[in-house]
Amino acid sequence: MAKCEEGYLCTVCGQDVEGVTESELYLHFVLGEVDPETLHTKQEAHIRCNPALAQFIVHDSFESVVVDGDFDKRLMDADFVRDREQLLTRGWLRLQEVAKSGLPIIDYPLPEFRDRWR
């Protein structure tokens, strides 16, 4: 199969990343961490395939992720964890919104990051 027909494959598990709602790359994009001009050059992964990141998404619709070891959020500074949970959960919720919205990609980022790439 031609590469362009394979879709976006997760660099961790090798499975298809079916949409932005499960995309680690697009989560980083809505958080203002990826330039839209470089999206097509970045590697893709499922959010859940990066447990060190996924553990900070706290929402009833997102199954909790627990990390054991050095990257366990329970071992981190409480203020850092609270801020990271708020930001990543907002980012994940934004992915849920944009998947249904029909918005242009440049409008995907959270409001405080939107002007960064204009």
**Inside any domain, residue 118:** no
Query: Percent of the chain having pLDDT more than 70?
Result: 94
- pLDDT at site 115: 83
- Give me the domain span that covers residue 107: 3-113
How confident is the model at residue 3, as a pLDDT? Answer: 44
- Does some domain include residue 45? yes
Q: Residue 53 above 90 pLDDT? A: yes
Average pLDDT over residues 77-91: 98
Please name which of 102, 97, 100 lies closest in space to residue 30, comparing C-alpha atoms.
97
Residue 99 in this model has a pLDDT that exceeds 70:
yes
What gap in Å lies between CA 68 and CA 5, rounded to an integer? 37
Distance CA 48, CA 27 (A): 12
Residue 85 lies in a domain: yes
Residues in the chain: 118
Whether 55 maps to a domain, the answer reads yes
Number of domains in the chain: 1
Task: Identify whether 40 is part of a domain.
Answer: yes
- Predicted confidence at residue 6, as pLDDT, reads 56
Q: Which residues pair with 23 in a beta bridge?
A: 46
At residue 86, the 3 state secondary structure works out as: helix
Is residue 19 domain-resident?
yes
The helix/strand/coil state of 88 is helix
Percentage above 90 pLDDT, the chain: 85
